[in-house]
Structure 1
Amino acid sequence: MSDKDIESEIQAKGLTAPRVTPDHIESIIAQEAYFTAEDGAFGVAIKAKHTGGEVNYQPHESLSLLTFCVLVLRNGFTVTGESACASPENFAPEIGRKIARENAVNKIWMLEGYLLKQRLSEK
């Protein structure tokens, strides 16, 4: 069941207490970036080349199967998610990005849930 399905069920039951919603979660995401561990290793090599450091770019093939999602929230805080594909034959970049994003968004739910509970406890 997706977050939106759960929210629809909550609304259908007429529950109106303060809560974190999927729309709220999406509204606080200012930017998102996706890359593989291989992309990161390549970036490190390029940076080393341009700053006079040692360039040792020999990435393991598995680095191309690890996808990261970085979500930048409106307040500047960053949240990360990742997706590791065990079988190279099954690797699909778009699926890796979806899973990595979902994992990052799940972290936002925890943070926003804590923040809401804190606000409610201060009333």
Structure 2
Amino acid sequence: MTDQAIEQEIQAKGLTAPRITPADVDHNIVSEVFFTARDGAHAAKDVNYGQRDHQALGLLTFCVLVLRNGFTVTGESACASPENFDAEIGRKIARDNAVQKIWPLMGYELRSKLAG
């Protein structure tokens, strides 16, 4: 079930107490960066990997999300079969994995405010 589907169900049931919504999470993201492990190795000028490693590193996609307060979260996506690698799909999965890490952070923040 997607975050949007869950939000629709919450609204349909009339649950109105303070909560974090998908829109809150999206609003909290100020920038995003995508790169593969190969990109990172090149940028780091790491020459300690061979041609075979070079292909494998290209199958691991990272997403870094910068949040409104400057905190960062990361997500990743690894493709098992090189023949199935699709950069766009890898970025979508990596971003979704990063977004899933935001929910507990924002939930904790909201709970702290409610407890105060």
TM-score range, shorter chain: over 0.9
Identity %: 64
Q: Tell me if the contact between 1:36 and 1:68 (Cα under 8 Å) persists in the aligned partners.
A: yes
Runs ≥4 residues deviating over 3 A: none
- CA shift for structure 1 position 57: 5.7
- CA shift for structure 1 position 58: 3.6
- CA shift for structure 1 position 70: 0.2
Match of 2:67 in 1: 73
Bigger radius of gyration: 1
- CA shift for structure 1 position 28: 0.7
Letter matched to residue 56 of structure 1: V
1:97 corresponds, among 70, 91, 95, to 91
Alpha-carbon deviations, 1:27-69, whole Å to 9, x = none?
0100000000000000011xxxxxxxxx626451210000000
Q: Tell me if the contact between 1:67 and 1:84 (Cα under 8 Å) persists in the aligned partners.
A: yes
Match of 2:13 in 1: 13
- CA shift for structure 1 position 115: 1.0
Q: Tell me if the contact between 1:68 and 1:83 (Cα under 8 Å) persists in the aligned partners.
A: yes
Match of 2:33 in 1: 33
Structure 2 residue runs of 5 or longer lacking an equivalent are: none
Whole-Å Cα distance in 2 between the matches of residues 109 and 95 of structure 1?
Answer: 22
CA RMSD of aligned residues (A): 1.2
Letter matched to residue 28 of structure 1: N
Q: Tell me if the contact between 1:42 and 1:57 (Cα under 8 Å) persists in the aligned partners.
A: no
Whole-Å Cα distance in 1 between the matches of residues 3 and 80 of structure 2?
Answer: 27
Q: Tell me if the contact between 1:4 and 1:22 (Cα under 8 Å) persists in the aligned partners.
A: yes
Residues 1:22 and 2:13 aligned together: no
Q: How many residues align?
A: 113
Whole-Å Cα distance in 2 between the matches of residues 56 and 62 of structure 1?
Answer: 15
Structure 1 residue runs of 5 or longer lacking an equivalent are: 46-54
